[in-house]
Chain A
Amino acid sequence: MSIILLVEQVLNGLQFGVMLFLMAAGLTLIFGVMGLINLAHGSLYMIGAFAAAATAAATGSFVLALMASLVAAAAAGALVELTVIRRLYDRDHLDQVLATFALILIFSEGTRWIFGSFPLFLEVPDYLSGSVTLPGGIEYPRYRLTIIMIGLAIAAGLFALIAKTRLGIQIRAGESDREMIGALGVNIARLYTLVFALGAALAGFAGALIGAIQSVQVGMGEPVLILAFVVIVIGGIGSIKGALVGAILVGLTDTLGGFLLPHLFATFMDASAAMSVGSALAAMSIYILMAGVLLVRPTGLFGGK
C-alpha cells in the first residue's frame, strides 16, 4: 500500500463526505427549524437527478441540467411543504414519519410512471471528465475534484447565509424559539416554506452531481438518506457545522474503513478470509462511529440542549 493510494482514498472519503453534507444540511435545517423528520428527503435527491438527466438529454448542457435540478427539487420541496408537510408540524414524530414515508412511495412510483423502470443516462461533461495529476503524482478524476470544491463552496455559502443574512438570523431564531419569532412579526409560514425549499434544492443538487457518476434510478435516494440521518445524529441535530463535520467524518470512515480494514486483518489472517471479515466490519464502521459518538456526547458533536 503506497502513500499515493492512501491520499487518493482520503480524497475519495472527502468527496463522499461533501456529498453527504449537501443532503444532511437540508435535513438538519428542516429538523432544527421546524422539528420535522423528513424521510422524503431522499426523494428530493432523486427528483434532482431525474430533472438533471431529462434536461441534459433535451439540451445537452450540464450546467443547465444542474440548474434544472435545483429548480425542480426546490419546487417539489415547496409544493410538498405547502400541501402536506405544513399539516405535520404540530403532530408527533410518528405521524411525520408515516406521512413522509408515504411521500417516498408516491414520489418513487410517480417517477417510475413518468420515466419508466430503467435507469436514465446522465454523463459527466467533456470538460470535467478525465483525470488531473495533483502534486506528488496523484492521478485523480477531475469531476470528483470539482465535486469537492463545489461542496466546500456551498458549505461556505451556507455558513455565510446562516451567520450574516437576515434569513439566517430568522433561521437561527426559529431553531431556538419558534413561538417568540412568530410573536416578533416574522412570517413563520413563509420562513418554513423557504427553508424547506432550500433544503430540497441542496438535496436535488447533490442528486444531480452524483447522478453523473452513478446510476439515475428510482430509489437512488434512500440509501443516501440513511447515511444523512447518521450524519446529523453524529453532528448534532440542527447544527450546520455539525452536519459538515459529521459528513466528512462519515465519508472518511466509510471509505478508509473499507480500504484499510481488510489490509489490517490480512496482517494476521489469510487473504480471502481477511477480505470478507474486513469488508463486513467496514460496512458497520459508520454505525460503530455513531454509537461511539453518542456514548460520549448523547446530543451529537455540536448538538445543543
Chain B
Amino acid sequence: MKFRTFATAIGIGVTALAAQAEDVKVGMITTLSGGGAGLGIDVRDGFMLAVKQAARDDIEVVIEDDQRKPDVAVQLADKMIQSEKVDVLTGIIWSNLAMAVIPASVAQGKFYLSPNAGPSLLAGKGCDPNYFNVAWQNDNLHEAAGAYATSAGLANSFILAPNYPAGQDALTGYKRLYEGELAGEIYTKLGQTDYASEIAQIRASGADSVYFFLPGGMGISFLKQYADSGLDIPVVGPAFSFDQGILQAVGEAALGVKNTSQWNKDLDNAANRAFVASFQEEYDRLPSLYASQGFDTANLLMSAMDKADVSDTEAFRAALKEADFASVRGDFEFGPNHHPVQDIYVREVIKEGDVYTNKIIGTALEDHADAYADQCSM
C-alpha cells in the first residue's frame, strides 16, 4: 500500500544524500488508495508533470499514501518532518486530514502548500504565515454557486452536504451569496451511498432547485439515484461532483448540470492549453481540476525556488506570496491570508464524442476572495 516515488524515478537526477543547501525536499501526503484515490492520483500526477516539465535537479519529491485516514496522515507527516527532513509539505485532499496535519507542520517551521483542502479555520483565526492554499478556501465554489443560483432566478433551494468540516463550510458558503428561500437543509453521513431518503424529502419539500456538495463516490450515487427518481428540478453543484474522474461513472445523469469551478480545460490561456495537451499526452486521460491544482502547486513552489533559498524562511515566504508563475487559471494572486483571489466560473456538463466533460458558460464571481481573510492576523 505504501510506496514512494523519488523524482529520480521519473528521470530527474538527484544527489540524494549530499544535498546542497538550495535543494528542496517536498513531502507529498495524499490519498492514493481506497475510495478517494482518484483525487490524490490527479493531484500527484499534475504536480509531477510540472516537476518533470521543469527538468530541474534541485527538487526531490517523497510521496506517501494517507489512505484517507487522519491518523495515518499524522504519522506520515511526523516521519517526513523528522526522518526525511522535508522542507515543504503538500498533497492533502480532505479537510479533516488537513486539520490534523497542517497546524502541527507549520508550527514546526515547515511550509505547507495545500493543493486542495481549504478549511475555514485555516483561512481565518488559524491562518499561518507558512501555510499557502493554492486551490481555494472551501467555501469559495459554494459561494459562487449561491451567487449563480440567485442570478439564475432560483428562489427555493434544497441544500445538502455531508456532516464534516468541509460539508458545513459548503452549506455556509452557499447561503452566504444565495438570496432565496431554503426549502430544506440536510447534513448526511460522510460516506453515505444511498440517498433515497433525502430524495424523498426533496420531492416532498416543493423546492425549485437542489444544491448538493457530495465529493467522490457520494456524488456519483446521489446523481444516479436522483436521475432515476423522476424528479426534474434543476441541480447545481460545485465542481467536485462533476470532475473529469467521476463524470464517466455518472454518465447521462449529469448532462446539463451547472457547476462552479475555478478552472476548466477550455480556459483560454497559453499555460492552460499547454497543460491540458501535455497532461493528456503523459497520462492518456483528460485532466481534472485536482490535476490543475497539483500542477499549479508545483509551479508556485518552483517559482519561489528561483527567487530564494528555502532555508531563508522570510525570503522564501515572500517569494511564495508573490505567486509569480503562469497559473493554468490565468490570473492568480494570494490574498492577505495566503488564500487565492481568483475568478470562479459556471460550467455545464456536456458530451464531447463519447466523453462527458464540462464547458464554461459564464463567470459567477470575479476576483473573489474568501470571507475569512479579515479574521486572519499575521
**Is B1 interfacial (CB-CB < 8 Å)?**
yes
| B94 → chain A closest CB, angstroms | 15
- The reply to whether A220 and B35 form a contact with Cβ atoms under 8 Å apart is yes
Q: Are A139 and B230 in contact (CB under 8 A)?
A: yes
- Which single residue of chain A is at the shortest CB-CB distance from B219? A215
Looking at the complex, which of A121-129, A162-170, A198-206, A239-247 is the stretch in contact with chain B? A121-129
Assess whether B74 is interfacial by the CB under 8 Å rule.
Answer: no
Contacts of B221 in A (CB 8 A): 213-215
B229 x A131 contact (CB < 8 A) = yes
Chain B, residues 187-212, CB within 8 Å of chain A (1/0): the string is: 11101011011001101100000000
Residue of A nearest to B37 (CB): A117
Contact B37 A144 (CB under 8 A): no
Cβ of A130 < 8 Å from any Cβ of B? yes
Q: How far is the CB of A152 from chain B (nearest CB, A)?
A: 17
Q: Across the interface, do A124 and B228 meet the contact criterion of CB distance under 8 Å? A: yes
Nearest A residue to B196 by beta-carbon distance? Answer: A12
Q: Which of B34, B197, B245, B250 contacts A259 (CB 8 A)?
A: B197
Contact B217 A217 (CB under 8 A): yes
Chain B residues in 8 Å Cβ range of A157:
none
Q: Tell me which residues across on chain A come within 8 A of B196, comparing CB atoms.
A: 12, 15-16, 141, 144, 255
Nearest-CB residue, chain B, relative to A119: B249
Q: Which listed residue, B1, B186, B248, touches A275 by the CB 8 Å rule?
A: B186
- Asked if A141 and B228 make an inter-chain contact with CB atoms under 8 angstroms apart, the answer reads yes
Q: Is the interface of B mostly helix, strand, loop or mixed?
A: helix
Cβ of A236 within 8 Å of any chain B Cβ, yes or no, is no
Name the B residues within 8 Å of A217 (CB-CB): 35, 217, 220, 249
Contact of B251 with A by CB under 8 A: yes
Whether, in the assembled complex, A161 has its beta carbon less than 8 Å from a beta carbon of chain B, the answer is no
Tell me how far the C-beta of A217 lies from the nearest C-beta in chain B, rounded to whole angstroms: 5
User: Is residue B163 within 8 Å, beta carbon to beta carbon, of the partner chain?
Assistant: yes
Query: Is there contact, CB below 8 Å, between A16 and B194?
Result: yes
Interface check A100, CB cutoff 8 A: no
- The answer to whether the Cβ of B41 comes within 8 Å of any Cβ in the partner chain is yes
B225 close to chain A: CB less than 8 A = yes
Interface of A is mostly: helix
B248 adjacent to A118 (CB under 8 Å): yes
Is B70 interfacial (CB-CB < 8 Å)?
no
A112 touches B33 (CB 8 A): yes
Q: Say if the beta carbon of B134 comes within 8 Å of chain A.
A: no
Contacts of A129 in B (CB 8 A): 228
Assess the A223–B191 pair: CB atoms within 8 A.
yes
Minimal beta-carbon separation of B357 from chain A (angstroms):
14
* B38 at the A interface (CB under 8 A): yes
B residues less than 8 Å from A279 (CB atoms): 163, 186-189
**B185 interface hit (Cβ, 8 Å):** yes
**B182 nearest CB neighbor, chain A only:** A271
Interface-centre pick from A109, A214, A220 (highest chain B CB count, 10 A)? A214
B246 at the A/B interface (Cβ < 8 Å)? yes
- Are the CB atoms of B185 and A272 closer together than 8 Å? yes
Q: Please determine whether B229 and A141 come into contact, CB atoms closer than 8 angstroms.
A: yes
CA distance A117 to B67 in the complex (A): 13
CB distance from A117 to the nearest CB of B (A): 4
B37: A residues at CB distance < 8 A: 112, 117, 218
Residue A120, interface by CB 8 Å: yes
Closest CB-CB distance, A213 to chain B, in whole Å? Answer: 5
Is there an interface contact between A276 and B187, defined as CB atoms closer than 8 Å? yes
The answer for the CA separation of A12 and B252 in the assembled complex, in Å, is 24
Chain A, range 1-46, C-beta contacts under 8 Å to B: 1-2, 4-5, 8-9, 12, 15-16
Which of these, B197, B230, B245, contacts A118 with CB under 8 Å? B245
8 Å CB contact of A5 from B200, B224, B248, B251: B200
- Cβ–Cβ < 8 Å partners of A219 in chain B: 34-35
The proximity string for B residues 221-265 relative to A, scoring 1 for CB distances below 8 Å and 0 otherwise, is 100110011100000000000000110111110000000000000
B33 lies within 8 A of A108 (CB): yes
Contact in complex: A258, B197 (CB < 8 Å): yes
Is B1 in contact with A105, judged by CB distance below 8 angstroms?
Answer: yes
CB distance from B128 to the nearest CB of A (A): 28
> Which residues in B have their C-beta under 8 angstroms from that of A215?
193, 216-218, 220-221, 224, 246, 249
Residues of B within 8 Å of A123, CB to CB, are 224, 251-252
Check A280 for interface membership: any CB of B closer than 8 A: yes
By a CB distance below 8 angstroms, the chain B residues around A1 are 204
A121 touches B229 (CB 8 A): no
Residues of B with C-beta under 8 A to A107: none
A283 contacts the other chain (CB 8 A): yes
Give the Cβ gap from B139 to chain A, nearest Cβ, in Å: 17
Interface 1/0 per residue, A72-109 and B, CB below 8 Å: 00000000000000000000000000000000010011
Question: Residue of B at shortest CB range from A122?
Answer: B249
Asked whether any CB of chain B lies closer than 8 Å to the CB of A216, the reply is: yes
- Given contacts A118-B245, A259-B201, whether A213 and B163 have CB atoms under 8 Å apart is no
Residues of B within 8 A of A (CB): 1, 32-35, 37-38, 41, 163, 185-189, 191, 193-194, 196-197, 200-201, 203-204, 216-218, 220-221, 224-225, 228-230, 245-246, 248-252
Question: Which 5 residue pairs spanning A and B have beta carbons closest together?
Answer: A215-B220, A215-B217, A119-B249, A12-B196, A131-B230
Enumerate 11 A-B pairs (CB-CB under 8 Å) in ascending A order. A105-B1, A117-B37, A118-B246, A118-B248, A118-B249, A214-B221, A214-B224, A215-B224, A217-B217, A218-B33, A279-B163
